Chain A
Amino acid sequence: MSGQVLCAVKMAPFSAPVRLPPQPDTRQQEMSRQLKDALESVIVLEKFPKSQIDVYVTVIEDDGSLLGACITAAGLALCHANIDVYDLVVGASVLFRGDVLYLDPRREEEEVSDNNQLTIGMIPKHAGGQIALMVQRSGQVAPQCLSECLNAAVDLCNRLHSLAQKTLLVHLQETLAHSSSSSSSP
């Protein structure tokens, strides 16, 4: 039996303008489930038989594109924990209202009614780019338009991926430099 993933997204009571109740509401539960779906397809679960990987995400401040940010954060944390993944997973969100496309929308932009929001979680380098999660929130949009949004989100993910890669490399170099300096000093 291969490994299992447990995800819990928790929003701090002060993360939104209105105080949130401490117990998780439906939105948080839904996000936990979505994050789990995304991570399950990214982690090499065969390497973790009979084990469970717990991923806890605490949202300190919500300024839009929350699910995408959660995915990127969880992906980087998995790398930091040295858990085998197929590729660095990144999440991105696009918002579209009429003909206008907003990449990585802010919370104020999200809160305007009659808009569509598309969030994807993606592993851009694995098998020519694979989508691990796709969520589109209420609105009405033609399939053609949604495909365009998807492409935009994929582009955004590619950009985020190189950034995440860079961050990870910097982190690795720093750790390496730190450990070599500490090992030589005593």
Chain B
Amino acid sequence: MADISLSEAEKRYIVDGVKLGIRVDGRERLDYRQLEIETGLVSTANGSARVRLGCTDVLITVKMEMEPPPPQQPKDGQIHFFVNCSANAAPEFEGRGGEDLATSLSAMLDRLYSSPLSLDTSRLCVVPGKHVKVLYVDVEILECGGNLFDTVSLGVKAALWATRMPRIYITGEDGGELEFMVSDNPQEVDRVDVSNAPILITHLRITENLTVIDPTPEEECCGPVQVVVGVTPKGLITTTQQLGAGTFAPQTLSASLKVIAFYYHPHHAHTFWECSSLFTLVAASGQFSSKT
């Protein structure tokens, strides 16, 4: 994503490394970099998360609002994604430079959460046909260090997990208008069920039929084409999208999909799907508090 140009020699070094199974920073093809997730940083939002993966740094906030639902889905709440690629992240995002990336990111997130199996939007309904909760998810790219799609999707899931919506009581009716009371008790909160929410895993094609996951910007420079796959905790694939100018052999694509299954295989769960254990861990420690 970031604009860097490498010399042929550097590219050769990266590509050969992938062939030999040792990447420039010592990782193997399917190793992730150090991942840090922090939740509850923004006090003005209902939920927030900051994710750092290598140099990549994103901040995600969730805000809840009450709105009338669209007529075709009177009983479903909504979730909207907005991505902002500001010049903070990379100089080439200046002006409208980051718009393309931002729209493809938000389109990807839209698709990831469009299925009721990923996120049950009917639970966001307050009064059918009148009032539903709408979740606005704002993604701020702070630094671009490769593998943006994965990082953003992890952050969105973490931010949704951390979202606390004050409980709403209907107290009465006044001339057809409903009256609400919003609980100000910090214990009386509704949460979003993210137990089935998917995340994205990107495979970057480096050479012929070899892919790497979690590429650095230098590696992204060597491989023009990547396939982004949305996966649920159960190891089911929700969405797939090939990005960039380049082609995959069908066998490579199938192999990439199977690798993703590997990541979610119960025996290998500790390698990656600690995401859910993060959530249980933080919840169990009871230390969760918003940053003040």
Contacts and interface: CB of A to CB of B under 8 A. Distances in A.
Are A and B close enough to touch in the complex, i.e. CB under 8 Å?
A: yes
Interface of A: 26, 29-30, 33-34, 37, 40-41, 45, 113-114, 118, 123, 126-144, 146-147, 150-151, 154
Interface stretch (B139-147, B157-165, B247-255): B247-255
Please list the 3 inter-chain residue pairs (A to B) with the smallest Cβ-Cβ separation, ordered nearest first. A40-B245, A130-B247, A136-B240
Q: How large is the interface on B (under 10, 10 to 19, 20 to 34, 35 or more residues)?
A: 35 or more
B107 A127 contact: no
A164 to B, nearest CB: 18
Nearest to B231: A143
Interface in B212-234: 225, 227, 232, 234
A150 B249 contact: no
Given A140-B238, A144-B261, A37 B244 contact: yes
Given A114-B117, A130-B249, A150-B253, 17 more contacts: A37-B244, A41-B245, A41-B247, A114-B115, A127-B249, A128-B249, A131-B242, A132-B242, A134-B253, A135-B241, A140-B236, A140-B238, A143-B258, A147-B257, A150-B254, A150-B257, A151-B254
B236 A142 contact: yes
A112 B250 CA distance: 28
Nearest to B108: A30
Question: Interface on chain B toward A: helix, strand, loop, or mixed SS?
Answer: mixed
A128 B209 CA distance: 12
A184 B250 CA distance: 49
29 contacts: A26-B103, A26-B110, A29-B107, A41-B246, A45-B245, A114-B117, A118-B240, A127-B249, A130-B249, A131-B247, A131-B253, A132-B242, A133-B242, A134-B227, A137-B111, A138-B115, A139-B115, A139-B238, A140-B232, A140-B238, A141-B238, A142-B237, A143-B237, A143-B258, A144-B258, A147-B257, A150-B250, A150-B253, A150-B254
Contacts of A146: 237, 240, 257
Q: Which of A118, A133, A136 has the most CB of B within 10 A?
A: A136
Contacts, number: 107
Contacts of A131: 242, 247-250, 253
B108 to A, nearest CB: 9
Interface in B191-218: none
Contacts of B260: 143
Contact of A141 (B103, B237, B254): B237
A37 B243 contact: yes
Q: Which of B227, B238, B247 has the most CB of A within 10 A?
A: B247
A116 B30 CA distance: 27
A131 B244 CA distance: 12
B30 to A, nearest CB: 15
Contact of A129 (B104, B225, B250, B257): B250
B114 interface: yes
A33 B242 CA distance: 11
B249 A140 contact: no
B54 interface: no
A138 B249 contact: no
A134 B240 contact: yes
Contacts of B232: 140
A37 B240 CA distance: 14
A140 B238 CA distance: 4
Contacts of B21: none
Nearest to A124: B250
A43 to B, nearest CB: 9
Interface in B112-134: 112, 114-118
A2 to B, nearest CB: 10
B235 interface: yes
Nearest to B111: A138
Q: Which of A45, A129, A139 has the most CB of B within 10 A?
A: A139
Contacts of A151: 250, 254
B241 A140 contact: no
Contacts of A113: 116
